[in-house]
Protein backbone atom coordinates (compact mmCIF):
# COMPACT_ATOMS: atom_id res chain seq x y z
CA UNK A 1 0.00 0.00 0.00
CA UNK A 2 0.98 3.63 -0.42
CA UNK A 3 0.09 6.90 1.26
CA UNK A 4 0.10 8.50 -2.18
CA UNK A 5 -2.64 11.13 -2.55
CA UNK A 6 -4.07 10.86 -6.06
CA UNK A 7 -5.85 14.22 -5.71
CA UNK A 8 -2.43 15.89 -5.87
CA UNK A 9 -1.96 14.73 -9.46
CA UNK A 10 -2.58 17.50 -11.98
CA UNK A 11 -5.68 16.36 -13.86
CA UNK A 12 -4.95 18.70 -16.78
CA UNK A 13 -1.72 16.83 -17.51
CA UNK A 14 -2.96 13.42 -16.38
CA UNK A 15 -4.34 12.38 -19.75
CA UNK A 16 -2.19 10.26 -22.04
CA UNK A 17 -2.17 12.71 -24.94
CA UNK A 18 -1.77 15.87 -22.86
CA UNK A 19 1.08 14.19 -20.97
CA UNK A 20 2.74 13.40 -24.31
CA UNK A 21 2.26 16.99 -25.51
CA UNK A 22 3.81 18.38 -22.32
CA UNK A 23 6.74 15.92 -22.48
CA UNK A 24 7.42 16.76 -26.13
CA UNK A 25 7.36 20.50 -25.46
CA UNK A 26 9.35 20.48 -22.23
CA UNK A 27 12.48 19.42 -24.15
CA UNK A 28 12.25 22.28 -26.65
CA UNK A 29 11.76 26.03 -26.71
CA UNK A 30 8.98 25.68 -29.31
CA UNK A 31 7.73 23.08 -31.75
CA UNK A 32 5.78 23.30 -34.98
CA UNK A 33 2.31 21.70 -35.01
CA UNK A 34 3.13 18.97 -37.57
CA UNK A 35 6.26 17.91 -35.68
CA UNK A 36 4.28 17.76 -32.44
CA UNK A 37 1.56 15.74 -34.18
CA UNK A 38 4.19 13.24 -35.42
CA UNK A 39 5.83 13.04 -31.98
CA UNK A 40 2.64 12.35 -30.03
CA UNK A 41 1.03 10.37 -32.88
CA UNK A 42 -2.32 12.16 -32.83
CA UNK A 43 -4.77 13.38 -35.45
CA UNK A 44 -5.10 17.07 -36.22
CA UNK A 45 -8.50 17.36 -34.52
CA UNK A 46 -7.55 15.43 -31.41
CA UNK A 47 -4.32 17.33 -31.00
CA UNK A 48 -6.07 20.69 -31.44
CA UNK A 49 -8.64 19.82 -28.77
CA UNK A 50 -5.98 18.90 -26.21
CA UNK A 51 -3.81 21.88 -27.10
CA UNK A 52 -6.78 24.14 -26.42
CA UNK A 53 -7.27 22.55 -22.97
CA UNK A 54 -3.62 23.10 -22.11
CA UNK A 55 -3.80 26.64 -23.44
CA UNK A 56 -6.89 27.37 -21.30
CA UNK A 57 -4.99 26.08 -18.26
CA UNK A 58 -2.21 28.56 -19.06
CA UNK A 59 0.28 25.75 -19.68
CA UNK A 60 1.09 26.54 -23.29
CA UNK A 61 0.97 29.26 -25.88
CA UNK A 62 0.13 28.91 -29.54
CA UNK A 63 1.76 31.23 -32.07
CA UNK A 64 0.02 31.37 -35.43
CA UNK A 65 1.68 32.90 -38.48
CA UNK A 66 1.93 32.55 -42.24
CA UNK A 67 5.10 31.37 -44.00
CA UNK A 68 5.03 31.44 -47.80
CA UNK A 69 1.26 31.98 -47.54
CA UNK A 70 0.87 28.75 -45.58
CA UNK A 71 -0.47 28.78 -42.03
CA UNK A 72 2.07 27.78 -39.41
CA UNK A 73 1.30 27.05 -35.77
CA UNK A 74 4.03 26.84 -33.17
CA UNK A 75 3.50 25.53 -29.65
CA UNK A 76 5.55 26.46 -26.59
CA UNK A 77 5.17 25.76 -22.89
CA UNK A 78 4.70 28.73 -20.61
CA UNK A 79 6.67 29.05 -17.35
CA UNK A 80 3.51 27.91 -15.55
CA UNK A 81 3.33 24.87 -17.82
CA UNK A 82 6.97 23.95 -17.21
CA UNK A 83 6.49 24.28 -13.43
CA UNK A 84 3.30 22.17 -13.58
CA UNK A 85 5.09 19.48 -15.59
CA UNK A 86 8.01 19.46 -13.15
CA UNK A 87 5.55 19.05 -10.25
CA UNK A 88 3.76 16.27 -12.10
CA UNK A 89 6.98 14.32 -12.69
CA UNK A 90 8.04 14.91 -9.06
CA UNK A 91 4.73 13.45 -7.86
CA UNK A 92 5.21 10.38 -10.05
CA UNK A 93 8.73 9.92 -8.70
CA UNK A 94 7.44 10.33 -5.11
CA UNK A 95 4.89 7.66 -5.79
CA UNK A 96 7.56 5.25 -6.97
CA UNK A 97 9.73 6.01 -3.93
CA UNK A 98 6.86 5.58 -1.47
CA UNK A 99 5.78 2.19 -2.84
CA UNK A 100 8.79 0.32 -4.25
CA UNK A 101 7.96 -2.64 -6.46
CA UNK A 102 8.14 -6.12 -4.90
Partner 1 sequence: MTSKAEQDLSYIREIIDESRSFASFAGDYYILWGVVAGVALLGNFAFAVGSLPWPPFYIWAICVAVGWAGTALLARRDRARDLAIHPSGRLIMLSWVGVGIAMAIALFAGSWSGSIRPPAIPGLAAVFIGLGMGLNGVLARIGWLRNLAVVWWLAALPMLLRPGGYTLLVFAVLVIALHVLPGIALNAMARRARGAA
Chain positions contacting partner 1, by CB under 8 A: 2, 4, 6, 16, 19-20, 23-32, 34-35, 37-40, 67-68, 72, 89, 92-93, 95-96, 99-101
| Dihedral angle computed from the Cα positions of residues 11, 43, 60 and 66, in that order, rounded to the nearest 10 degrees | -170
Nearer to partner 1, 35 or 83 (CB): 35
Q: Smallest distance, Å, CB 42 to partner 1?
A: 12
Beta strand 60-67 pairing with 70-77: antiparallel
Q: Smallest distance, Å, CB 18 to partner 1?
A: 12
Dihedral sign computed on CA atoms, order 66, 71, 74, 78 = positive
Contact yes or no for 41/87 (Cβ under 8 A): no
Nearer to partner 1, 4 or 62 (CB): 4
Amino acid sequence: MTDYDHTRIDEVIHSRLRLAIMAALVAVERMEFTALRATVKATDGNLSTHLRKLEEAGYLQLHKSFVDRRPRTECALTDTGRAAFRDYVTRLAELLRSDPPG
